[in-house]
Amino acid sequence: MVELVFDISKKNPRLASPVRGIKCDCGHVNPWYAKFCQMCGRDLKNELRKKYDKIIDEIYEDIKKSDPEKDYVDLDDI
């Protein structure tokens, strides 16, 4: 079971910061953008990452369509 981890404010426990990371079954807290656990290597099934991966793939496809002769994408084009 993968769960999101938040930093809780000590002054006001009801206020939480943005997501700090994703906790794996082994107990390790990974960055929120991680695809695999850094300790045990399990797949995190990260739903947040899937959304951003889709956006990045769309950007790459748009850049490739704009210049079909290129077989690579420059990071400066993004």
pTM above 0.75, yes or no: no
Residues 12-65: pLDDT tens digits?
A: 555 555 567 788 888 888 887 788 888 888 888 777 777 777 887 887 788 777
pLDDT at 35: 80
The pLDDT of 5-17, averaged and rounded, is 58
pLDDT at 76: 61
pLDDT at 37: 86
The helix or strand, by DSSP H or E, that contains position 59, with its residue range, turns out to be: helix 47-66
The pLDDT of 1-11, averaged and rounded, is 60
Task: Copy the structure tokens of residue 45.
Answer: 């099934």
